[in-house]
Structure 1
C-alpha cells in the first residue's frame, strides 16, 4: 500500500495588491505518494510556482491544509529541497564545497556522501571547479546534488531546465530520472514543457489560470526508460495537449510540432 507523503486540501491563495485582491490558487486538492514523480504543467499565471513555494514553506499566508508526513508545513526545512530555475551556487566555492555548503567536508560521512552525489550527477572530475567554469547544465546538477545531500522527504523543482538548450535539457532529464530511481525521492517538478511533463512523471497535474485550479490529473502508465518518439508516448502527449481548450493561447512548449 502506497503511503501518502504530501496532502494538500482546499488550498486557496490570495495576493493583496494596490489594485485589489488577486486569487492565485483556488481549492487545490492533491495527494502525492511517497517515491512518486509528479509534474505540474500550465500556462504562465496559473500559480504553479506559487503552489511549489507553499509546499516548500516559503509562503505560509494561505488558506487550507498542506501536510507533509501528516505535519503542517509552516516554514522551510531540510526535509523539503527546492531547486530554482537559476542554480544559485556560491561563486566563491568549488563544486564539492557548494554541495556541502554549511556542512564540513572534513566529516567522513559528509565527504563520502558528497563523493557519491558527484558520481550520481555525473560531475566526476569537476570537484574543484568553480561555478564560472561550469555550464548551465552542470551548475544545475550541483544544485540538485546540494539539495539531495540533506536527504529531503520531497524535492521541489521550479522549471529547473527552462533556461537550457534542448540538448542539455534532455540530458538533464535523464540524469534526474537516474537520481529519482536510485534514491526513490519524492519529486514535484513545475514545467511549461508538455514533453518534459510526460517524459518524467508518474502523474501530470494540469492547471488552469486565473485563478489557478487543477483541471485534470493524468496518470502516465509508461515504463522507464521512455522514448519521446514512441507511439504510446505521443498518445499521452496528445491526451495532455487536448486538455487545453485553446492551446494556441496558452504559453506551453510544443517541442515536436505535433
Structure 2
C-alpha cells in the first residue's frame, strides 16, 4: 500500500495554559490511519476528541509530538484535510450550489460539473437553488459535506456532524456518508458519542480516556457492509466496546 497519504500520529500531547495552571488535554497519542480507512473516535466528554481533530486539520498547531500526512508535517490548514463541524456553517446568503462552490466559480465548466455530481452524490437534486433557511438540518449537513469533498481532500474529518439530528435523519445520513466513502475512497475520521454509530460506520473504533486524553483501546470492526445493527456480529462488537468502556472507567476509578 502506498504511504503517500498515510496519517501518522506519534507521541502527540497537548497542554492548555489556564489561570489555575496547565491542563493536560492529550497525552502521548500514537496511531496510524491507512489510506481509505474509516475510523471513528469515541470517549467521554472532555477527553480531547475535538482537539485531536483540530490538530489533524491543522487548525491547532500548538502541540508536542508529530502529526504527518504522507511525508509532510501538518502545521496549517490545507486542501489535503477537509473538516466538517457539528454545525453546518453554511453562508445564509448563498444557494446550495453556491455554498458548495464557495470561493470557486460555477462559471468554470469543471467546477460546474463537479458541483452537479456532488449534489447528486449527497442526494440534493432539486434543491440546487434553495437557501440554507429552506433546508432541514440533515440537508444542510449534506451541503457541508459536499463543499468539503469538492476540494478533493485526502482525509475528511467529521466532528459529531450528526449529533444534533433526530434518529431517523441521523441513520439516513450515516448511509449517505458510507455511500460517499465507498465511492470516493476518502480517508475518514469521525468523532461521535454514539457507540452504535461508531460501529456501523468504521473499520476501527478508537476509544479514548480522559484527563488527560489518551487512546485506551482500538477495536477492529470486521463486518461486511452494509451492516445490520440487529445482527449477532454487530451486537458482539457492541458488547466488546461496552466492556472496554467499563474497563476504562474502572481504571479511572482505581487511579483516583
TM superposition score normalised by structure 1:
0.94
- 2:9 corresponds to which residue? 8
Q: Secondary structure at the match of 1:16?
A: strand
State the shift of 1:245 in Å: 2.2
Distance 1:246 1:29 in 2: 20
Give the CA deviation at 1:146.
0.1
Q: Which residue does 2:78 correspond to in 1?
A: 77
Tell me the distance in 2 between the aligned counterparts of 1:149 and 1:2: 23
Shift in Å at residue 247 of structure 1?
8.6
8 Å contact kept, 2:216–2:248: no
Where 2:178 maps in the other structure, the secondary structure is helix
For this pair of structures, how many residues does the alignment match?
Answer: 249
Once the two structures are superposed, residues 195-247 of structure 1 have per-residue CA deviations (whole angstroms, 9 ceiling, x without a partner) of 00000000000000000000010110000000011111011111111101279
Rounded Cα–Cα distance in structure 1 between residues aligned with 2:20 and 2:246? 29
> What is the rounded CA distance, in whole Å, between the counterparts of 1:134 and 1:247 in structure 2?
40
* Map of 2:60 onto structure 1: 59
State how 1:26-105 maps to structure 2 within 5 Å: 26-105=27-106
Check conservation: 2:13, 2:63, Cα contact below 8 A. yes
* Matched-pair contact (CA < 8 Å) for 1:9–1:30: yes
Alpha-carbon shift at residue 69 of structure 1 (Å): 1.1
1:220 corresponding residue in structure 2: 221
CA distance in 2, matches of 1:104, 1:158: 28
**What residue number does 1:125 align with?**
126
Q: What secondary structure sits across from 1:245 in the alignment?
A: helix
Distance 2:212 2:248 in 1: 18
Q: Give yes or no for the alignment of 1:21 onto 2:22.
A: yes
Deviation at 1:2, TM superposition (A): 5.9
CA contact (8 A) 1:241 1:247 kept: no
CA offsets per residue over residues 137-165 of structure 1, 9 Å max, x none? 00000000000000001000000000000
Q: Which residue of 1 aligns with 2:107?
A: 106
Aligned runs of 1:132-143 on 2, under 5 Å?
A: 132-143=133-144
Q: Could you tell me which residue of structure 2 aligns to residue 239 of structure 1?
A: 240
* 1:34 Cα deviation from its structure 2 partner: 0.1
What does residue 253 of structure 2 align with? none
Contact 2:118 2:150 in 1 (8 A): yes
Aligned residue for 2:179? 178
Number of the residue aligned with 2:154: 153
User: 1:166: how far off?
Assistant: 0.3
User: Structure 2: where are the runs of 5+ without partners?
Assistant: 251-256
